[in-house]
Amino acid sequence: MKTKAISTANEKSRSGFFWLLLGTAGQNAVQLISILILARILTPAEFGVVGIGAAIIAFLRIFSEVGVGPALVQKEEISSVDIKTANSMSLLLGVILAISLYFSAESFSLFFSMPELTEVLRTLALMLPVISYSVVGQSLLQRRFEFKKLSSVTFSSYLVAYGGVSVYMALHGYGMWSLVAAFWIQSIIFLILILILCRDAAKVGFSYPSAKGMLDFGVGYSMARLCNYAAGQGDNLVVGKLLGAESVGLYGRAYQIMSMPAILFGSVVDKVFFPLMAKMQNNNEALERLYLSSIYFSLLIFVYLSGYIYIFSDQLIGALFGDGWGEVAKLIEVMSIGLYFRIGYKFSDCLTMAVGKVYARAGIQFLYALSVVVLVVLGSGWGLIGASIGVVVAIVLNYLMMMMLVWRILNFNVGVVFLRHLKVLGLFSISLLIFLFLNRLIDIKSPLLGFVVSSLIYAASFGVVLVVFARYLKDEFGVLKLVAKR
């Protein structure tokens, strides 16, 4: 790979990182605000039914898209024939799977013992062709580093669907259908805007050689995605089957809160670092520097964020959801332990895809999925807390397995990486001791004011440690040179 080509990709990724971060932050803010409102109107059971429906749709999307979008991003050169073929395959499979789900909805309803699930699934099934038809356009914008457009499309669709439609319908008594409508409206607006901004995304056609070339990558990608789905949604399905709709609603809200940082940062990593690493796929030195610096930076930030969520879980849930959701606080205390590992593995994921190791990645994701399902089933014997512990253990295992796969590719120094992890944990311990000491000195009667002041002390303790030990954190902040230096 020529240095000039990598430099050009770097320059585009810098702007793209901030646009995607801004757009994803806006998307999360809209979803969070809508959840705050809906949690005071809808019941945990209503959230649970729609959550199961969304999990089934996410499963079918894997087969409707067959990895053609990432295949277009990873491929060094693509043609108009590739775009048409990818569109046709994805759209056709979306239609077939939508029809299949529509007529099998009642079977899912019987399996989960949720009568309301039948109509929810039949309504959501009609979304599949819409979602499938937007995949190619989204991937083309990603491939071209047009993240400003992609970010605008995503934010706009979520703002209308979740910030407007879902809240309006919930306030007017539509119950769980306010959530279903949000899924629908967001998908339709997203597709329309993608087709407007990326005219190539409307083309259809078919070429067998083109399809075969994309499927060589896409099938491996989809296998890993299928296993990742089993890991990401398997816990919801197991909880729904063994513990019921209300438990899914409680567990789902805790998981959603803990997913927001992962979605905010992780989706940016997927969209920016995957195409950037694909451009660097023949330059191991550049890949290693980018990968390790990214790991160190995310470790530093998310260890502190995990600590904050753990310490202030009761106050956070009380402020966000109000009464009736107290059990969620205990769940996020457990889930916060796995937050960094959910983020850190994303860099390994992007790198293995960028260099074409999709089948090795799929094998690890299979082990990850298996560990999630087994550990959640075992943990559910102790209720939702036990299930949450099982998920966290599986997430840590996945992080370690993916990092070892990257080590086989780059052959970096494992000992140094381990010491970097210990260093950050040591700095966090110092920051935590400072916070605990200072926090004991205050005595504020107002719970809200006390929460705000304690949060500021926690942040200040983190800032003090960063300033005092700045000379020892050059590697941790090295990745910012990529996304901030002009």
Whether the Cβ atoms of residue 481 and residue 13 lie closer than 8 Å to each other:
no
DSSP code at position 79: -
pLDDT in tens, 132-142: 888 888 888 87
Nearest to 349 by CA among 368, 334, 332: 368
How far is Cα of residue 433 from the mean position of the Cα atoms in its chain?
Answer: 32
**For helices 3-38 and 245-268, what crossing angle results, to 10°?**
150
pLDDT value, residue 148: 77
Residue 344 CA to residue 338 CA, distance in Å, equals 10
pLDDT value, residue 433: 92
Give this prediction's pTM: 0.63
Q: For the chain, which residues score pLDDT lower than 70?
A: 1-28, 31-32, 36, 65-67, 74, 227-253, 256-272, 319-326, 476, 478-486
**For helices 447-468 and 313-321, what crossing angle results, to 10°?**
130
pLDDT value, residue 99: 92
pLDDT value, residue 175: 83
pLDDT value, residue 234: 62
pLDDT value, residue 266: 63
Nearest to 121 by CA among 135, 134, 107, 136: 107
pLDDT value, residue 315: 77
pLDDT in tens, 211-242: 777 777 777 777 777 766 666 666 666 666 66
Residue 169 CA to residue 43 CA, distance in Å, equals 15
Residue 52 CA to residue 65 CA, distance in Å, equals 20
Whether the Cβ atoms of residue 16 and residue 282 lie closer than 8 Å to each other:
no
Question: Within 10 A of 420 (CB to CB), how many other CB atoms are there?
Answer: 17
Name the amino acid, one letter, at 61: R
pLDDT in tens, 187-206: 899 889 888 888 777 778 87
Residue 313 CA to residue 291 CA, distance in Å, equals 32
pLDDT value, residue 189: 92
Nearest to 133 by CA among 177, 79, 94: 94
pLDDT value, residue 15: 54
